[in-house]
Amino acid sequence: MSESSAADDGSVAFEEALNKTGIILASYVWGYVSDTKGRRFTLVIPLLISFALNCISSLANHWLVLGLLKFLSVCFSCAANSVTYTIVGETCVQRVRNKYMLLMTCLLLLAPAVSGVLTYPTLKLDFATDLSTIGVVYKPWRLLIIVLALPLGMGALAMFFFYESPKFLFNCGRKDEAMEVLKGIYAINHRTSKNNYKIRLMKIERKTETKSASIWRAVYEQSAPLFREPYLLRSLQLFYIVSVAYITNNSFLIWLPHIMEQVRKSLQANGTRTGNVCELIHTEATGNLSSSDSSENCLGTVEDNVVFTLIISQTIFSLLNFVLSYLPNHRRPVLLTVLSVSAVSGVLINLTPETISSVIFFMMFTCTCLGMGIMASYFVDLYPTSHRGMVTCLSIMVGRSSAFMGINLVGHLIFNYCQLTFYLWSLLVLTSVVAAWFLPPDRHEKLKTSN
């Protein structure tokens, strides 16, 4: 990408579309790899490759090359989206599993905030190194690609010091390896010798059968049982809730920096402001339609309000999710509450005449992300070991697909039919509340019923 070349919106949209497509396509494959080659393998190798591709992409001399390299890097890095949930769920006892899954989501939600913290000082740097041999001028935005990719490399290296999921090993018939892993975990947790581990016999859940077939046939055979009895209805239910959660959070939260910028401009101009989010958007759309920026130069910077809004919003969501982690045995009530709050807030955005309150309701409307950890725990609990990696990866695939469609859809609707959009979307979230109502009760509820 030449810094003097036109940085048109088409190239940005094309790169974003490639990244989303990479996640959607690759998630399906990584689900198969996770269930056949192992959770640890699916984290180490792909993340190292993704880190290397990101480093190379920082030297790309054309936006098409940059887009292609980023597409490939995303295809590999998305392996971590769901496999981490699977390996954590399989290496924790039932007593703490749900809590740790929710804590994982805390880190997932906090990641964009950390990225914002890293992005702000990096893009504030002022340097331009001419690398004429490859035809690029190395500027801060290129350095930022490497900075944001560092967690990939560090995470892959850290996984070298972690054990493979013992449940996966045992389910694949590798009993001796599974026993050694259990001994190692026991020794670390209790600060004692492996020889003190007393368990000598384990009962297999269901051994994974491997058949000689093409890769695509094998992938199909790994995923097809998820859409047959007895899992068909449960898969459709969970995937629907995931799609609504993703499409609501991702599609609308991306507009929060734009809305906050309009609030700032309005307060500067008037001192006070009446009117909800939709009125702000309508005023901005009609008043500035003819004054759009047609700059042709790629500035390589990002507005401060975008970074600060990202940091603040994701930190708030992460803290709220941390609070929810103390309710690990109340998954269904918590999920129903989160989705209900989102649905009600979508209506209140239109009914609230005051700006700040309307923005707060907008934030609450996008709180569906708080249910992602809960959904991940259901995928681990309700499916056998031999299919957990696949079903969890497919949930990411479904979520990202819906978010990709939603971002493109909302970008048009919110500027043309703002109030109607929030009303109809609230109704959509309400349907996910109905779907979540029929989720199985938590284990402690079953015990109370039996007593």
Residue 438 corresponds to which tokens in the numbers above? 């029929």
Which residues sit opposite 137 in a β-bridge?
A: 130
55 exposure class (CB count in 10 Å sphere: 0-12, 13-18, 19+): middle
pLDDT of residue 2: 42
- Confidence label for 447 from pLDDT (cuts 50, 70 and 90): very low
Q: Rounded to a whole number, what is the distance in angstroms from the first to the last CA of the chain? A: 67
Residue 89: closest CA among 422, 449, 378: 378
Most confident of 171-185, 195-209, 253-267, 362-376: 362-376
Instruction: DSSP letter for 139, please.
Output: -
Q: Say yes or no to pLDDT of 65 above 70.
A: yes
pLDDT at 410: 85
Q: What is the pLDDT of residue 124?
A: 87
Question: Which one has a higher pLDDT value, 415 or 335?
Answer: 335
Which tokens sit at 321? Answer: 């999710």
Q: Does residue 46 have a cis peptide bond before it, meaning omega lies within 30 degrees of 0?
A: no
Nearest Cα to Cα of residue 346 among 432, 258, 263, 271: 432
> How distant is the alpha carbon of residue 264 from its chain centre?
29
User: In whole angstroms, what is the distance from residue 190 CA to residue 7 CA?
Assistant: 57
Residue-level pLDDT at 221: 72
pLDDT band for 26, please (50, 70, 90 cuts).
confident
Helices (H), 38-165: 39-57, 63-77, 79-90, 94-123, 140-159
The CA distance from 46 to 75, in Å, is: 9
Q: Please state which architecture CATH assigns to domain 9-162+237-287+300-450.
A: Up-down Bundle (1.20)
Tell me the longest C-alpha to C-alpha distance in the chain. Answer: 76
d(CA 107, CA 118): 16
Tokens describing residue 6: 């036109």
pTM, rounded to two decimals: 0.76
Q: What is the mean pLDDT of the segment spanning 349-368?
A: 88
Q: Is the pLDDT of residue 449 over 50?
A: no
- Number of residues in the chain: 451
Cross-strand pairs, 297: 6
**Which of 48-62, 179-193, 403-417 shows the highest mean pLDDT?**
48-62
- Give the chain's mean pLDDT: 80
Confidence check: pLDDT of 267 > 90: no
* Cβ atoms of 412 and 366 closer than 8 Å: no
**Per-position b or e across 165-195, b if 16+ CB within 10 A of its CB:** bbbbbbbbebeebbbbbbbebbeeeeeeeee
Query: What is the mean predicted confidence (pLDDT) over 369-387?
Result: 85
Give which of 86, 71, 87 is closest to 26, Cα–Cα.
Answer: 71
SS3 call for 321: helix
Those residues with Cβ within 8 angstroms of residue 110's Cβ, 6 or more apart along the chain or in another chain: 314, 315, 318
Please give the Cα distance from 107 to 110 (Å, whole number). Answer: 5
Query: Which DSSP helix (H) or strand (E) runs through 129?
Result: strand 129-131
pLDDT of residue 303: 64
What does the pLDDT look like over 189-240, one tens digit per residue? Answer: 888 888 888 776 666 555 545 454 555 666 677 778 888 888 899 999 999 9
Q: How far apart are CA 233 and CA 382, in angstroms?
A: 12
Percent share of the chain, pLDDT over 90? 20
Domain assignments of the chain as residue spans, ordered by start: 9-162+237-287+300-450, 166-202
Q: What is the dihedral of CA 196, 199, 201, 203, to 10 degrees?
A: -140
Over residues 400-429, the pLDDT tens digits come to 788 878 887 887 888 888 899 999 999 999
Does 178 or 5 have the greater pLDDT score? 178
What proportion of the chain, given as a percentage, has pLDDT over 70? 80
